[in-house]
Amino acid sequence: MTIDPHIKTAADLTIATLMSQVKGIRAVVISTEDGFEVAARVENTAQVTRLAAIASSLTALGAVAGEESQLGACENVIIGAKNGCLIMLQARTPHIDLILSVITNNDVIVGQALYFSKQAVQALRDL
């Protein structure tokens, strides 16, 4: 899959901004809805390719769960774990559907990470 250079540049800028806004973010991956990496910055040992594929699957499950439970379209999926959390948000643009995945440590304030992640998604939608 070929990604438009404009989208790649915007994704890189979005990642840099998000990581500067929230302390405790260890990795950010922006991938396509079908699981291909667009841009990433990793400050731990997370495997970007695997995370992109996992995010694709989990957001698809979130979409089905939201529709089946009559909650509407899934906007995000948050997984809390022993050492941090994984936040996945969908960023549908007129050109391409993207997924923003954020891995945090356990010191992060989840609400703050989600707030700034939503702002990052809005920046991607405005491409």
Tens digits of residue pLDDT in 69-100: 888 877 889 999 999 999 999 998 888 899 99
pLDDT of 7-38, one tens digit each? 999 999 999 999 999 999 999 999 998 889 99
Nearest to 25 by CA among 118, 119, 101, 80: 101
Architecture of the domain defined by 5-125: 2-Layer Sandwich (3.30)
Rounded Cα gap, residues 10 and 22, in angstroms: 19
The pLDDT value given to residue 63: 84
Q: Tokens representing 65?
A: 């769960």
pTM of the model: 0.88
Exposure on the CB side of residue 27, measured as CA atoms within 13 A? 22
